[in-house]
Amino acid sequence: MYAIKFGTDGWRASIADDYTFENVRYCAQGTAETLIAEGLAERGMVIGYDMRFRSEDFARAVAEVLAGNGIRAYVAKVAAPTPVMSYSIIPLNAGGGVWITASHNPATDNGYKLRSSYACAAAPETLAAVEANIAAAQARAEVKRMAYGEALRAGLVHEFDPNEPYLEQLHRLIDVTPLRAAGLKIISDPMWGVGQGWFTGLLNGDKTEVIEIHGERNPLFPRMRRPEPIDENLQDLLAEIRAQHADAGLATDGDADRVGFADEHGNFVNQLRVYALLAYYLLEVRGERGPLVKTISTTTMANKLAKHYGIEVYETQVGFKFVAPEMLRVNALLGGEESGGFAFRGHIPERDGILAGLYLLDLMGKRGKTPSQLIDELFALVGPHYYDRVDRPLNEADKPNVIETVRAARPAEMGGLKVERIEQEGGFRYLLEDGNWVLIRFSGTEAVIRVYCETTREERVPKLLNAGLRLAGLPTED
């Protein structure tokens, strides 16, 4: 029996290998039983999907199982971004949601994201209950199903357009009229995913021009390893910025819950700087106050901004299943993670690449500065910060030994810097002198080990990454 496990954000697997209609139906059965046990079945579930191979068909399979268990399924009529689908839980007063998406994973994968009635990632205890119910259904070889057409006629499936309520929410959060009139030239890259058409639709029509690339459905994600908005996957975007003499570039990942940002020179702005820019925008430009929530892999610039503005910072493990509950607990102004996912108070505790992108452009407009000038402004306040990450594939059979090697290590120094403290919750983080840090973490969604670092001096970056790789017994970078 194949064991279905939820990682950092849902279950993901290779299509036609482990990601099959049979296993998706078992996931839906486990979800239905958990919803019933939690007393939320009468509120129904929202079902959404991305533009990957047959995602809409997998979504219908989920709806059939929910209907077979007597639970109403609100099924999106169109492929839609994760934040759009998550927001739809609120006006529908649904008990939660299921999104068929593998987010930024390679084209060969698909996935199953579970959302709570609070329109955010389901809590770890809920995911544990779903996993247990999935395993029980597999052991019984039992899934309850109602044919899609029959469920429609019975009123157990309701098809709806999720875009309009989300657009109304966006316009409550930000006035796009000044942005449309700002005369900016922006390059948008939805990375062949569900972010296509959003920035062009919101901002074109006045003096601002948004030029979109990779704006059609292509589940192969050509010319990129995966639809993850990081430097190596955005070379077409960066080249187009330079060719068009654009003011900035925005990218959204496969399900548009993450954002990538590029400056006017066609240089990628790393996600730690984006987190700090968004915090600066909310605190300085909008004059808001409230705690910041960040994962252990996110920037210490947040702490320096917090000290300057007299607010608190709270840290969590990696994943929005940890960030979202903490945001709700402390009424956070901003929650974010190193992968480019950011959530905002007054909205939903869910990553939103579309809103984050609009906020970044509004920061440019309100300060009258280019992205590179904004980074200089930020560094004048908190000092320069440099970051990088190395991902290495890891054989599952080798993973326990590598984890044990890292756990047992007690380095006195890394990259020539003294190790002041070692933390082992959610990863292995080495806090170094002068505010530097290294993190070694094993991905919860892929067979990958990640080594991260942040430092106040650029020349230290390769030294710190190599120190982390050596600690894990892996070859160093050239």
Kindly list the structural domains of the chain, giving each domain's residue range(s) and its CATH number in brackets, ordered by start: 11-163 (3.40.120.10), 174-382 (3.40.120.10), 386-471 (3.30.310.50)
Taking the model in full, what pTM does it have? 0.94
Asked if residue 254 lies in contact with residue 104, where contact means CB atoms within 8 angstroms, the answer is yes
CA distance 265 to 256: 24
pLDDT tens string 10-61: 999 999 999 999 999 999 999 999 999 999 999 999 999 999 999 999 999 9
Q: Extract the tokens encoding 203.
A: 């901002």
Residue 50, Cβ density class (10 Å: 0-12 exposed, 13-18 middle, ≥19 buried): buried
Distances (CA, A) of 358 to 129, 175, 293: 37, 10, 20
pLDDT tens string 206-248: 999 999 999 999 999 999 989 999 999 999 999 999 999 999 9
Residues 6+ positions from 293 with CB-CB distance below 8 Å: 313, 314, 315, 316, 323, 326, 327, 330, 332, 334, 335, 336
**Confidence at 255, pLDDT banded by 50, 70, 90:** very high
Query: In the prediction, which pLDDT does 9 show?
Result: 84
Helix axes 371-382, 353-367, angle to 10 degrees: 80
Residues 6+ positions from 466 with CB-CB distance below 8 Å: 415, 476, 477
Neighbours of 411 (CB within 10 A): 16
**Confidence at 181, pLDDT banded by 50, 70, 90:** very high
CA distance 117 to 96: 4
CB contact burial 413-428 (16+ within 10 A = b; e otherwise): ebbebebeeeeeebbb
pLDDT tens string 317-328: 988 889 999 999
H helices present in 225-299, as ranges: 235-244, 271-280
DSSP state of 336: E
pLDDT tens string 400-416: 899 999 999 999 999 99
CA distance 474 to 286: 45
